[in-house]
Amino acid sequence: MKFTPAKPALTGETLESLTARLKERGEPAFRAKQILEWVYKKRARSWDDMTNLSKPLRAWLAETFDLLPLSLLFDKQSRDVTDKLLFELGDRSLIETVIIRAPQEGVGLDQSRKTICISPQVGCAMACKFCASGLAGLKRDLNAGEIVAQLLQVCYREDARTPRARMELASFDNIVVMGMGEPLANYDALIEALTILNAEWGLGFGARRITLSTSGLVPKILRLAEEPLGFRLAISLHGATDEVREKIMPVNKAFPLAKLIPAIRAFSEKHGRMVTLEFILIEDINDSLDQARALRDIARDLHAHVNLIPYNTVEGLPWKRPSNTRQEKFADILRHAPVSVTLRREKCHDIDAACGQLRLKTERDRADAA
């Protein structure tokens, strides 16, 4: 389903498209750069902040565009390393954006490295059995402006906390597209948004610091391999054989491992980069030592890094996290291969299924209040 907002978002405009709109109004070409500089470099929060533009031009901008197409509903700070922001879009849809801090010795949490996990869709059609975000299916794709705006909102928030951020333009270190939705199912809008973030007139954010995570849409992986911007790729594998993967990821029927693995290989050969295999460990589903051995073989063959993520319980779903002993035994098989492996405790929703629950809870509260 598509959502057509009353006004397009300025955060969805490129330098070229904005220049063309301004030209129709008889404005000189340099105006577009000036306006985008206000948005991305000077972090203008209102049209009136753009003080070197004439009043009539500011009025036209306000009539023509939304400065930001989403508003912050909740800012949920956790006591650990993960903060969650809940945004409301123009059609009242809700999305979560997550800030994950990597604690560094001698550095306060606010100053530590930050990875921002953004959402590319409202809901998700992929129906992975362990995931809160897929429970109600796909509502709609986000447009490029909504995707970019999640990161600008994070910049506003982090700028207020750390002076370092202002100087480096982007107030974070990495972007992972692992929030709600299947990124490659909203391919065009996502690439448009990431191109805006990467542009010198945008946030100037390096493509090598952006990771796209997919449940395994093979044709789109092959298309991504041809993109000139060299993004990083993570695969939500979660099953090392078709039999196990199919139980929890319906996408495996259309794209079984015999198709998925060659596509991953093609991507990493094209970009010369290590791909990451995400693997949520779920008790008695995919945590057997046979699965560990099969995963080891796949990872070794692809020279891939493996992220093991013990499952986080989702209300209403029956799955459980394996014991710590089981997790370690599983990881040991990979470590001894040797395969590059991390046993993680915290990350975004399709690696940390507990994400997406702030949105679900808010939607339930709204339904109860109606």
Of 34-42, 130-138, 310-318, 325-333, which part binds ligand SF4 (CB under 6 A)?
A: 130-138
Q: Does 360 bind ligand SF4 (CB under 6 A)?
A: no
Determine the size of the site formed for ligand SF4 (CB under 6 A): 13
Q: Does 133 bind ligand SF4 (CB under 6 A)?
A: yes
> Which CB, 81 or 127, lies closer to ligand SF4?
127
- For 110, other C-beta atoms within 10 Å of its C-beta total 13
Contact between 86 and 96 (Cβ < 8 Å): yes
Q: Does 352 bind ligand SF4 (CB under 6 A)?
A: no
Q: Which of 350, 353, 352, 354 is nearest to 214 (CA)?
A: 350
> Which CB, 212 or 334, lies closer to ligand SF4?
212
> Which CB, 12 or 134, lies closer to ligand SF4?
134
Q: Does 100 bind ligand SF4 (CB under 6 A)?
A: no
Which residue in the shown chain puts its C-beta closest to ligand SF4? 134
The catalytically annotated residue of 117, 124, 155, 355 is: 355
Q: Does 44 bind ligand SF4 (CB under 6 A)?
A: no
245: left (phi over 0), alpha (psi -120 to 50) or beta: alpha
> Which CB, 44 or 184, lies closer to ligand SF4?
184
The catalytically annotated residue of 13, 27, 96, 146 is: 96
**Which of 131, 191, 314, 341 contacts ligand SF4 by CB under 6 A?**
131
Q: How far is the CB of 129 from ligand SF4 (least distance, A)?
A: 8
Site string for ligand SF4, 157-196 (x = CB under 6 A): -----------------------xxx--------------
Q: Does 124 bind ligand SF4 (CB under 6 A)?
A: yes
- For 269, other C-beta atoms within 10 Å of its C-beta total 12
> Which CB, 39 or 281, lies closer to ligand SF4?
281
96 is catalytic: yes
Of 10-18, 30-38, 91-99, 125-133, which part binds ligand SF4 (CB under 6 A)?
A: 125-133
What's the 3-state SS for the chain?
Answer: CCCCCCCCEHHHCCHHHHHHHHHHCCCCCHHHHHHHHHHHHCCCCCHHHCCCCCHHHHHHHHHHCECCCEEEEEEEECCCCEEEEEEEECCCCEEEEEEEEECCCCCCHHHCEEEEECCCEEECCCCCCCCCCCCCCEEEECCHHHHHHHHHHHHHHHHCCCHHHHHHCCCCCEEEECCCCCHHHHHHHHHHHHHHHHCCCCCCCCHHHEEEEECCCHHHHHHHHCCCCCCEEEEECCCCCHHHHHHHCCHHHHCCHHHHHHHHHHHHHHHCCCCEEEEEECCCCCCCHHHHHHHHHHHHHHCCEEEEEECCCCCCCCCCCCCHHHHHHHHHHHHCCCCCEEECCCCCCCCCCCCCHHHHHHHHHHHHHC
**Which of 93, 153, 174, 215 contacts ligand SF4 by CB under 6 A?**
215
> Which CB, 44 or 189, lies closer to ligand SF4?
189
> Which CB, 158 or 182, lies closer to ligand SF4?
182
| CA trace torsion 190, 193, 197, 200 (10° rounding) | 120
**Which of 350, 355, 357, 359 contacts ligand SF4 by CB under 6 A?**
350
Site string for ligand SF4, 230-259 (x = CB under 6 A): ------x-----------------------
Q: How far is the CB of 199 from ligand SF4 (least distance, A)?
A: 27
269 is catalytic: no
Q: Does 216 bind ligand SF4 (CB under 6 A)?
A: no
Binding site for ligand SF4 (CB under 6 A): 124, 126-128, 131, 133-134, 180-182, 215, 236, 350
Q: Report, as residue numbers or ranges, the catalytic residues.
A: 96, 355
